[in-house]
A and B are shown apart, each in its own frame.
Chain A
Amino acid sequence: MKVNKDFLMKYKSVLGLIVFSVIMAFVNDRFLTLSNVLNIFRQTSINAIIAAGMTFVILTGGIDLSVGSIVAITGAVVAALIAGGMNVVLAVLIGLITGLLAGAVNGIIINKGKVQPFIATLAIMTLLRGATLVFTKGKPISIGYEKNAEIFNKIGAGYFLGIPIPIYILVAVFIAAYYILKHTRLGRYTYAIGGNEEASKLSGINTQRIKTYIYAISGVLAALAGIIITARLSSAQPTAGSGYELDAIAAVVLGGTSLAGGVGSVIGTVVGALIIGVLSNALNLMNVTSYYQLMAKGIVILIAVLLDRKDR
């Protein structure tokens, strides 16, 4: 009996996801169709990619509020480059570097300026949102209709073997994130810093450098998400990505990663992102308006966090 209970608690988010999906499959016959399932994954991919980066940050005991703004600025930059006729690979690369730099700046402010992650990334979030509005003059930037725009559009809207491209990107990101956390020094140090930063430092870990890497990873992944969105919509919206930081944090927390740092996994984060994705998809299928959807999301997060609390 006891073993059973431990098992239930450990895998409660996965179990919750499965139970909810099974119920939905019975309630609505459109839910368990191939196209809908692919749809769920595609819609989830944006949040999940950002959340993968957020997992690293939260594992070190930090937080990154700037991801939503990084989505927007990257989207705007890349859209402008594509519209200007630039080669897709080059434009995407520049977009990713934009995110990397923004993330690294977060890391440097936190480390060298000794500023709390919450405050540092809040400032960068505001600054980058402003920068995006200035850059776009508050209007959407279309990627245009040239050949390169057509290719670029595939990143967000294309299919390969019947499966949307963003899903491949998501899978690649998660394999990489899992591998880094589980099998590399960077991953081990991420957990160590979140668990006890002082001891990590005295153990000879360059904690500042590692943290800068971590925020840079978060920035790159947010940029990647920004590129996918822009590609899919064929244009960059100045308000793109607002509120995404909270969805990403929600996915990480639903996945069982502790905000205090040191404990958690990226697999949990996928599950967390899928819970959010499945929930909004289900509510959409049942024609629930987005206002109620928000309320439902809030309630699910609350339940998950309360369950987690009993865990300890």
Chain B
Amino acid sequence: MKKILEMKNISKEFPGVKALSGVNLTIYHGEVMALLGENGAGKSTLMKILTGVYQKTAGEIYLNGKLVKFNSINDSQKAKIGIIHQELNLIPNLTIAENIFLGREPINTFKKIDWNKLYSEADQLLDLLNMKISSKELVINLSIGQRQMVEIAKTLSLDAQIIIMDEPTDALTDKETESLFKVIRSLRSQGKSIVYISHRLEEIFQICDRATILRDGQFIEEKEVKDLDQNEIIEKMVGRKISEQFPTVKVKKGNVALEVNGLTNKFVKNVSFKLQQGEILGIAGLMGSGRTELAKTICGAIKKESGEILIEGERVNISSTQEAIKKGINYVSEDRKKDGLVLGLSVKENMSLSSLKEFTNQFSKIDSIEEEKVVDYYIKSINIKTPSKNQLIKNLSGGNQQKVCISKSLMCKPKILILDEPTRGIDVGAKKEIYDLINNLKKEGLSIIMISSEITEILGMSDRILVMHEGRISGELPENEATQETIMSYAVGIKEEK
């Protein structure tokens, strides 16, 4: 196979962190190369070096055999390398089309933007991605999944020869993922090359030709996907064998911790359910089915219009997240960058943000010794990879940022924990750690609601599953009756309980 790009012996050092040392990556003509590794292995960093966002400390990059140097993303774009970053970079108050062609708007002879052309070309791109939405829609109104598709459309519009996708399916529904794969296959047949980063290993077997595996910033190996199996990949990524993903944890359920009756507003319709102590309630459904809105309504971030919420049998009135936390309900958002983290603060400051009250004495002074002790405990116990607790959170890899978000909630010692896509962007090893953590919390009698689009995860973890469709609960399944098929049929609304 023809090599079109080679990265050789790439090293990258950040102050206090050796992110990459001597990594190789080869990109072949008309192939999809998987780039695999745990959180913090250096995948995103390697891609940022390739696209000129970061400068490498050592190593060479050859494009079609010629030594090249990219000083900025502009340089790499000129060389027809496009990237879809893990963090989305869209401007919310512009339309989809304006975002796609930002800085490259088609203009007529009088320098006026040719709006018709702009929107028709954008619509074509969306069509290609099977997106049934007008390109005149504002990005602010889109779900994360739809935004991801817009990013992809933007890269396609650049006519790139090499397209890097950093966890593109992270926030996509199965359907959207399928359309994306179709696009990837057609790009591949046009002779384009793709670097594909994902923590969903099953996708690697569906779409990738070869895989390059990194561990702790080191190159482990490059192999054809057909010569690999899932266990081998995991072992090489993690450096050890991983025990069973979803061990069954039996816990005697306690009293009803949370009861929701007829909860209704713009997003959710007449939702009722009960949650017991020591129970994990899974909430499945398609993107946009109202799962996140349900969670946000329960925790006071969205107003309810009618219905009631009872905590341990007592009717409560929750009108802000602050009150929810006081009453023992904690919500971990699906969108960590927008709703979860303060990027300019350190790991420590982010982790203690919700529970800072616990660490303040009567003179409202923060007891930093106590604060650091607890922060250190969580960094260690759920294995957050960071050079120090004072590192800025924005310098952590995506998965480690997610762990900080979860720790932030745990530090409030909640009675009811709502986890919205808790393992989004998290590697296999860390997923297992998060699952163990959730199971341990369950053993301690915590009540957990877990929203997830990963059906295996919902099936593996939940004691009971609610399926949502268009803001309603379309089905409730006990653990032993739930299968992928039944969940899907409730989720798409083919089946509905009455």
Contact = CB atoms under 8 A, between A and B. Distances in A.
Interface in A256-286: 262-263
A188 B371 CA distance: 13
A194 to B, nearest CB: 8
Contact of A201 (B301, B344, B360, B366): B301
Contact of B322 (A185, A188, A199, A204): A204
Contacts of A186: 364
Contacts of A184: 360, 364-366
Contact of B341 (A189, A194, A196, A201): A196
B349 interface: yes
Interface stretch (B16-24, B222-230, B240-248, B350-358): B350-358
Select the residue from B325, B340, B344, B408 with max chain A CB neighbours within 10 A. B344
B413 to A, nearest CB: 13
Interface string A169-191: 00000000000000111101101
A188 B320 contact: no
Contacts of A201: 301, 320-321
A186 to B, nearest CB: 7
Select the residue from B324, B326, B331, B366 with max chain A CB neighbours within 10 A. B366
Given A198-B339, A204-B325, A188 B353 contact: yes
B380 interface: no
B339 A202 contact: yes
B342 A199 contact: yes
Contact of B340 (A185, A199, A205, A262): A199
A43 interface: no
A203 B353 contact: yes
A200 interface: yes
Select the residue from A191, A199, A202, A205 with max chain B CB neighbours within 10 A. A202
- The interface size bin for chain A is 20 to 34
B260 interface: no
Contacts of B2: none
A108 interface: no
A9 to B, nearest CB: 14
Contacts of B368: 183
B333 interface: yes
A185 B357 contact: yes
A205 B322 contact: yes
B408 to A, nearest CB: 7
Contacts of B408: 203
B66 interface: no
A36 interface: no
A188 B339 contact: no
Contacts of A189: 356
A192 interface: yes
Nearest to B324: A204
Nearest to B365: A183
Nearest to B412: A204
B321 A262 contact: no
Interface in B391-420: 408, 412
B354 A203 contact: yes
Contact of B349 (A188, A194, A202): A188
B345 A191 contact: yes
Contacts of B345: 191-192, 195, 262
Contact of A188 (B301, B341, B356, B412): B356
A206 interface: yes
A221 B324 CA distance: 35
Given A183-B365, A199-B342, A204-B321, A192 B353 contact: yes
B338 interface: yes
B374 interface: no
Interface string B312-335: 000000001110111000010100
Contacts of B356: 185, 188-189
Given A191-B349, A204-B322, A205-B322, A199 B364 contact: no
B403 to A, nearest CB: 16
Contacts of B349: 188, 191-192
- Return the 8 tightest CB-CB contacts between A and B, nearest first: A195-B342, A204-B325, A195-B344, A262-B344, A196-B342, A204-B322, A203-B354, A203-B353
Given A191-B342, A202-B333, 9 more contacts: A188-B349, A192-B345, A192-B349, A195-B342, A196-B338, A202-B321, A202-B331, A203-B353, A204-B326
24 contacts: A183-B365, A183-B366, A184-B366, A185-B356, A185-B364, A185-B366, A188-B356, A191-B344, A191-B345, A192-B342, A192-B349, A195-B342, A196-B344, A198-B339, A199-B339, A199-B340, A199-B341, A202-B340, A203-B321, A204-B321, A204-B354, A205-B353, A262-B342, A263-B344
